[in-house]
A = this chain, B = another copy of it.
């Protein structure tokens, strides 16, 4: 059933997603109860395997033989559904493991999400999973279902009013309520589904593993996910990479972007949420679409279900409303899609067909096209054949509501698309549910809002490009450096460490007296900068620890003496190693590089424009370590201030290659030393037309806990 699964973890989820037999511990005769509903559903859906109710108080449950204990079940059990109260769950799991059950689902709540004792019980469940090999979904989840396999292991009653249609979309949600809502919304929109799974407290199986499974599942083509956070960044990254390799778009909502939101997220789950900017970097890096609204989630999924992911972004727009065409062209420009004119010859053809039309692109057929649908059809065919477009967006106002004209337009559009199946055609208009379903059946996604159709094309193109992107092999990591003692390293030590990693620093000299400072200044050439060196002072400027533009020996002496005096007065306790003398660098642009260890994903590398204005705007970009110079270039290119580097307004192009090289080397250093590295700040690094030279650096080491080494992120080929 599933594709080429290579990860051992994935194989072991098979009994959850394709169970051949299901036992229900705590089975109830009442289908209205949580412990009765799944039995009703499995029966109603005609699940093909044996269903074993387990309950010592019944002989028979909902017409099925009931067993007093899981041991008494006559056959092997792929999936045990545990519906007993929280206090009985561990016992039930232990018994199931003894019975040799291959997987378990736990609806019950009252564990890590409510109390410390609950967390202890939940830890016991994780242990049972680890030692027995029985995979456990939950606790505090709503279960799962497989549409084609008819295994409805959930107490949600949502689907009882209509079975889900089989189709390519899998829904994965950490939250049960969110998952149920997503399912209902998908059904309301007529989407076809493969799997639906809620992971709850994730004592064993988590959303990352479920995602990886769907990435390999042959029935699944599009993955919808809702996550609040994850503990296992490496698995999540692996799942995203796997989906990308298999050309399956992942569209997800990740909440907790704001401070208020993040606080609520913590109270809602017991998950350690990583920093949101790092999540964003991961999503972007792996081509995952992060949706901000349900509308965007489902609109994107609908477009993806067409299974066409162009790599270029040339959009043809056809409409009966000139204003609608402009609206869509505006939206396309805003998200970086092209709306190129039709070729001259094709324009002539369109004009001959429909004399009142604007044939350029957006093509405005005017309402004339509705009078003779063969003209509308031919118009669209010419656009598909001769426009060299990667996608076509149509906007036909409210025609889809007209009982006379709507069906004719539907037929014309479907006929035009026949034989042009490589090009996604998206239809925006107000339309009846029947018309929408008929268009969908013909592979034409429908949108009410024309701007939503354009945005969906933007998403398709982003996926197309992500799927095509060569998987970069990061360069080999350098040998790790011995862990320094925890805390801040001083500037000289920081620079030595990073300089050893291949990052170029401004040549400077360590001096311990005014005389040594003058000698150094004369050797380096005036003017120079003088900077205090102390392991106890992070922000030198605040204690007058930086003097710039010293252009005579006198000035150097004066600055050295003043600096020492002031520091001894203001920070008498600070150890002073001496001072650094460095040449002044003129011109160029200040940038910042940095490393921040993310608790979930490991070291994240930052590049940002420097200077106070850029800092105020937070013009920064993140990527996980390690990466090569190509990825470093891509990262730098994301900065809004990038044109400053590339040579805006007649200025010379700066040494972006040098900056990219420093960035990549920093990422390799961070990955190699993830065991002890907490953070790095290189601020500024000055980029001139000829070089990218770091001026100042601060490395912070953390307390190394031997346990944590085991949790270091694996470096996956992406």
- Where the two chains meet, the residues of A that have a C-beta atom closer than 8 Å to any C-beta of B are 158, 174-175, 177-178, 180-181, 184-185, 188, 226, 228, 253, 255-262, 264-265, 267-269, 292-295, 320-327, 329-334, 339, 358, 360, 362, 364, 367, 397-398, 401, 430, 448-452, 589, 609, 611-617, 619, 640-641, 643-644, 648-649, 651
Contacts and interface: CB of A to CB of B under 8 A. Distances in A.
Contacts of A188: 401, 430
Nearest to A264: B326
Nearest to A650: B542
Nearest to A539: B650
Contacts of A614: 613
B616 A326 contact: no
Contacts of A430: 181, 184-185, 188
A226 B294 contact: no
Contacts of A331: 292-293
A401 B260 CA distance: 30
A587 to B, nearest CB: 12
A624 B326 CA distance: 26
B258 A448 contact: no
A260 B295 contact: no
B295 A452 contact: yes
Contacts of A255: 323, 326-327, 330
A326 B613 contact: no
Contact of A228 (B323, B451, B649): B323
Contacts of A330: 255-258, 260-261
A339 B178 contact: no
10 contacts: A175-B322, A175-B323, A180-B398, A255-B326, A256-B326, A257-B334, A261-B329, A261-B333, A294-B451, A616-B648
Contacts of A612: 644, 648-649, 651
A323 B268 contact: yes
A320 B226 CA distance: 16
Contact of A321 (B175, B261, B360): B175
A268 B365 CA distance: 12
B185 A398 contact: yes
B324 A264 contact: no
Nearest to A276: B330
A329 B260 contact: yes
A397 B323 CA distance: 35
A358 B181 CA distance: 20
B177 A325 contact: no
A87 to B, nearest CB: 17
Given A175-B321, A321-B181, A334-B258, A326 B265 contact: yes
A321 B253 CA distance: 14
